[in-house]
Amino acid sequence: MPFAVAAAPVAAQAPLPAPTERQRLIVLSDIEADPDDTQSFVRLFLYSNEIDLEGLVATTSIHMKTAIHPDSIRRIIAAYAKVQPNLSKHEAGYPTPDRLRALVREGQPGYGMALVGAGKDTTGSRLIVEAMERNDPRPLWISVWGGANTLAQALYTIRETRSPDVARRLIAKLRIYTISDQDDAGAWLRKTFPDLFYVVSPGGYGAGTWTGIHTLIDGADNHTISNAWLRDNIQQGHGPFGAIYPDVSYGMEGDTPAFLSLIPNGLSNPDHPDWGGWGGRYELYTPPVATTDPSGFSGVTIAPETRPIWTNAIDSFTPQVAREFGRATTPGDRQIKDFRAGLWRWRDDIQNDFAARIEWTVRPFSQANHPPEVRLAGPDRLTVKSGQRFVLSAADSTDPDGDSLSFQWFHYQEIGHWQTPILNGIAANIHTVDFTAPTVTEPREAHFIVRVTDKGTPPLSRYKRVIVTITP
């Protein structure tokens, strides 16, 4: 029987920013340095109805210093063109292939900061400047899958040609997520524009949060990132778009975490990397920030950071609980604590969502799965006193296919650095949970997540977050 009312009156606060607002995104890609940029574009275009793509720029990187491959982006768009009509049977808003083709641009066909400066603008850098100057109040995300020198050129030009006030206002719109540092432009950007909103695991590849997309979780079932899973769920027998998804070479989709948290799934709030999401979780660290891997595989050597950056945060999760619904944590479960866990904890959900969207490219609506719609019975922000009971409910959630739903509420304890999770109201498999606020000596925020998973094939998950402020 669902709870009809909250156990005690609670104060509602202003709601969170609407998580369904589409984010603006420009991608910089060293496509063809590694097959995985093509993999990431396939996945990105499947979500192009939920993210406003404003640029697709071919660049270099430390792995490919003298060539760019915009034609490879066009080749992926050509495959997308074959399936865009069918995708549009499942959700509205998929851009036309011509719209995507019009976004393809080029950076310098050369490496790093040596090609940044006066007279070195490119179609790619100009596109970034135009997007920054567009009269749009939303932030502008730059997702950097290779080198960052095209972004550096755009900001160089802004700095040289606009007044300091205008430059500051334009740069404040930027939200940058780079996959480590794949040329020497990232360090220059962070040093030259210390106010930049910048998400990065500085330096090489050894310790990037983003590696959670493809690294093996020790002791857990890693089936959904295996070549066999990709063959059976993406590449073989799922139409022309899945068929262009290349085999894994160095690692599956190392660049994908640079846009995953922009998918409006109810979990992420892109302006709060510390709240976590499909792309992982990051905290704002102030100097001194050590380079995570100064001499790592990427070969880019980075000086110590001099300003705050959003970077690796340690998360913990229990793979068995993430995978098996109906299980609360038991003392025998192995808990993993790792800077990649903020992504690992969602990885099966991410992969199932990808597989479902590949089905959207070929099947009618009635023969494919679509994610549930999570609805909270109450507000998504509450204030309660120590010892007060409060109720959180997602009982009104629905599924567009009529699928049955499973519910998993949990306290995301790393957010706000809680020593112990608030578990007193959590039971497995119920849509409504009844907590008693712990005693605090000063106001503290606790984030509760509900993960709602349908019983379709593959099972799909969506989320809601409730932020509870607990006062003494």
To Ca ion, the closest distance from the beta carbon of 377 in angstroms equals 21
To Ca ion, the closest distance from the beta carbon of 333 in angstroms equals 28
- Contact pick of 456, 462, 463, 466 for Ca ion (by CB under 5 A): 456
To Ca ion, the closest distance from the beta carbon of 405 in angstroms equals 9
CB neighbourhood size of 320 (10 A):
17
Q: Provide the pairing of β-strand 309-312 with 282-285.
A: antiparallel
How far is 455 from 217, CA to CA, in rounded Å?
25
| Closer residue to Ca ion in complex, CB, 91/401 | 401
To Ca ion, the closest distance from the beta carbon of 347 in angstroms equals 19
Cα angle value 293/28/230 (rounded, 5°) = 80
Query: Is residue 30 part of the contact set for Ca ion (CB under 5 A)?
Result: yes
Query: By CB under 5 A, which span of 93-101, 187-195, 400-408, 419-427 interacts with Ca ion?
Result: 400-408
**Which of 325, 442, 316, 445 has its CA nearest to residue 380?**
445
Query: By CB under 5 A, which span of 23-31, 83-91, 339-347, 387-395 interacts with Ca ion?
Result: 23-31
**Which of 52, 43, 49 has its CA nearest to residue 270?**
52
Query: Is residue 454 part of the contact set for Ca ion (CB under 5 A)?
Result: yes
| Closer residue to Ca ion in complex, CB, 246/378 | 246
- Contact pick of 106, 293, 399, 414 for Ca ion (by CB under 5 A): 399
| Binding track over 327-366 against Ca ion, x by CB under 5 A | ----------------------------------------
| Closer residue to Ca ion in complex, CB, 146/270 | 146
How far is 452 from 409, CA to CA, in rounded Å?
9
| Closer residue to Ca ion in complex, CB, 359/399 | 399
To Ca ion, the closest distance from the beta carbon of 210 in angstroms equals 11
Q: Give, as ranges, the residues between 232 and 261 that touch Ca ion (CB under 5 A).
A: 255
CB neighbourhood size of 166 (10 A):
12
Amino acid, single-letter form, for residue 86 = N
How far is 178 from 143, CA to CA, in rounded Å?
6
Render 313-337 in DSSP notation, one character per residue: --EEE-HHHHHSTT----TTSPPEE
Q: Coil, helix or strand for 432?
A: strand
Q: 57 - beta bridge partners?
A: 28, 105
How far is 379 from 117, CA to CA, in rounded Å?
50
| Closer residue to Ca ion in complex, CB, 289/394 | 394
To Ca ion, the closest distance from the beta carbon of 255 in angstroms equals 5
**Which of 371, 347, 180 has its CA nearest to residue 260?**
347
Count of residues in contact with Ca ion, rule CB under 5 A: 12
To Ca ion, the closest distance from the beta carbon of 159 in angstroms equals 27
Query: Is residue 403 part of the contact set for Ca ion (CB under 5 A)?
Result: yes
Q: Give, as ranges, the residues between 270 and 329 that touch Ca ion (CB under 5 A).
A: none
To Ca ion, the closest distance from the beta carbon of 286 in angstroms equals 29
To Ca ion, the closest distance from the beta carbon of 157 in angstroms equals 24
Query: By CB under 5 A, which span of 14-22, 244-252, 393-401, 416-424 interacts with Ca ion?
Result: 393-401
Which regions of 350-454 does DSSP assign to beta strands (E)?
381-385, 389-393, 405-411, 432-436, 444-454
DSSP at 173: T
Query: Is residue 52 part of the contact set for Ca ion (CB under 5 A)?
Result: no
- Contact pick of 146, 202, 296, 459 for Ca ion (by CB under 5 A): 146
In this structure, which long-range contacts are made by residues 325-334, counting pairs with CB atoms below 8 Å and at least 24 apart in sequence? 325/406, 325/408, 325/428, 325/429, 325/453, 326/406, 326/428, 326/429, 327/428, 328/423, 328/426, 328/427, 328/428, 334/219
Query: Is residue 181 part of the contact set for Ca ion (CB under 5 A)?
Result: no
To Ca ion, the closest distance from the beta carbon of 146 in angstroms equals 4
| Closer residue to Ca ion in complex, CB, 291/298 | 298
To Ca ion, the closest distance from the beta carbon of 113 in angstroms equals 19
Q: 380 - beta bridge partners?
A: none
Burial of 228 (0-12, 13-18, 19+ CB in 10 A): exposed
Query: By CB under 5 A, which span of 1-9, 234-242, 391-399, 409-417 interacts with Ca ion?
Result: 391-399
Write out the H or E segment, with its range, that includes residue 160: helix 149-161
| Closer residue to Ca ion in complex, CB, 175/370 | 370
How far is 136 from 73, CA to CA, in rounded Å?
26
To Ca ion, the closest distance from the beta carbon of 366 in angstroms equals 11
Residues in the site for Ca ion, rule: CB under 5 A?
30, 37, 145-146, 255, 369-370, 399, 401, 403, 454, 456
